[in-house]
Amino acid sequence: MALGMALLASSALVGITVSSARAEEAAANAAVPTLSPAEFEEGKQIYFERCAGCHGVLRKGATGKPLTTDKTRELGYEYLRDFITYGSAAGMPNWGTSNELTERQIDIMARYVLNEPPQPPEWGMAEMRDSWKLHVPVDKRPTKQMNGLDLDNLFSVTLRDSGEIALIDGASKQIVKIIKTGYAVHISRMSASGRYLYAIGRDGKIDLIDLWMPEPTTVAELKIGIEARSVETSKFHGWEDRLAIAGSYWPPQYVIMDGPTLEPVKIVSTRGMTVDTQEYHPEPRVASIVASHFNPEFVVNIKETGQILMVNYEDVQNLKVTTIGAERFLHDGGFDSTGRYFLVAANARHKVAVVDTKLDRLAALVDTGGLTPHPGRGANFVHPKFGPVWATSHLGDETISFIGTDPEKHPENAWKIVDTVRGQGGGSLFIKTHPKSSNLWVDTPLNPDEEIHGSVAVFDIKDLGKGYAVLPIAEWSGIKEGARRIVQGEYNKAGDEVWFSVWNAKDQESAIVVVDDKSRTLKHVIKDKRLITPTGKFNAYNTKMDVY
């Protein structure tokens, strides 16, 4: 009898506890702002276009913080609304004060991230092949260049919000052609021969452009997933132009394609275990990809797991992959001046991983001292005191760091930060120099301060200690309205000009400002109503040859 009463009491207590937990969960869910079906679809599209790159398709975070509901509901609607509006120097754009998003859109987004994210669909070979379009077969293409363009000094410019690229002649500064692409082209990459240009949008669409046609023409296209960032072509001797590879953010996988046609050949999933805790991760996105100059391999960087894959493409059907454990949250990077060592930022872990692409091994993990590196492809030059170095700027901090890259002649400096200088402020995305230049350029497009994100800092490589000069690029553009963010300096082939994008909202005027590298003076302003939200610029020769 006593036992029966005890069990009854215990059951009642469990019932009360469960009921209380359910009541609390119901109350919490009731406090979550709702969205209409139309608002949810709009929020999903804005998140995909503006947020997923940093926060992840599943909102689990990487460069940006996680936006899972256990985090967002602690912060609350007002905090989220204000943070989206004003941004931060740590890398969060000021979507509201820059007029990139309206108050209504910001309201939708603050509510959207308080609700559970939708599960995105998979994208396999069937879907890929359905998306593949071969507009001009290889045997119908010219066997020699059929136009008078200087292909080595051609610029491919991302027109982010119009879903296009502008091909601009480096000498005349005239637009050669506007080509429709996927949404928000992330990069343009050149084939080893310089004939083909590959543009990949954040919507996972690749456009293959034949620059030998009478006018540059899209000859093939393929959608490799729902969201993507990276594409590259085979560069090893004997394999030029034969293969291409692209990696997607969702689904987490990469695909190897026939280079001249984009026909998909093999898809490889990147889902797997993290390098540190050896835990399964459902969304290990493919970040940057580069082509090795020393082996028939692609260097594929997996963001969330921290694995660097050396994908040997000699036998695609029997693929050999060397897995190098590096550090989590791999992002972007570039080669050292010799092309042997690849340096890639593990930005959320405040590290730079160094891969020896000749020996296929991790050469070093460089600690950035708690800073968040965001180098683009970085910048190579000879430091007056420490020899060859590779430079990176940082999100959320004005520090520019120089890492020694010569283990043979300067072993005491190799793979460590040998020097730092301070730039204008946090929010830098790209750093740039050229072998023929003595200037080092640092942008700050994500800094919320108008004067800072509307200008660039430039250092004299021969005398880094004297600090930087500021060039008012936004003012030089002649554009009076808008956020006028200055982003991504890019050199011409000769190394005597630097091109900067003046990035405004879609419905505002944008421009490209060309600066004389030696005198640091305004040389030319490219304005055209078709230049809608220009961001990344890729000089064909420098991109093809990995010059930075």
Residues carrying an active site annotation: 51, 54-55, 92, 331, 374
Rounded Cα–Cα distance for residues 383 and 410 (Å): 11
Closest to 545 in 3D by CA, of 290, 173, 257: 290
Quick one: how far is CA 407 from the chain centroid? 29
H helix or E strand, kind and range, residue 488: strand 485-491
Cβ neighbours of residue 269 closer than 8 Å, sequence gap 6 or more: 251, 252, 253
Four-CA torsion 446, 451, 454, 456, nearest 10 degrees: -90
Phi-psi region at 90: left, alpha or beta (left = phi > 0; alpha = psi -120 to 50): alpha
3-state secondary structure of 121: coil
SS (H, E, C) 140-183: HCCCCCCCCCCHHHEEEEEEHHHCEEEEEECCCCCEEEEEECCC
Q: How many CB atoms lie within 10 A of CB 13?
A: 10
Radius of gyration of the chain (CA): 24
3-state secondary structure of 459: strand
The CA-based angle 188-194-196, given to 5 degrees, is 60
Rounded Cα–Cα distance for residues 488 and 70 (Å): 36
Counting Cα atoms < 13 Å in the Cβ hemisphere of 208 gives 30
Q: CB–CB of 253/267 below 8 Å?
A: yes
- E strand map for 326-462: 330-335, 341-346, 351-356, 361-367, 372-373, 379-383, 387-395, 397-404, 417-422, 431-432, 439-442, 456-460
Rounded Cα–Cα distance for residues 324 and 275 (Å): 9
Phi-psi region at 531: left, alpha or beta (left = phi > 0; alpha = psi -120 to 50): beta
Counting Cα atoms < 13 Å in the Cβ hemisphere of 77 gives 9
Closest to 203 in 3D by CA, of 170, 163, 232, 172: 163
DSSP 65: P
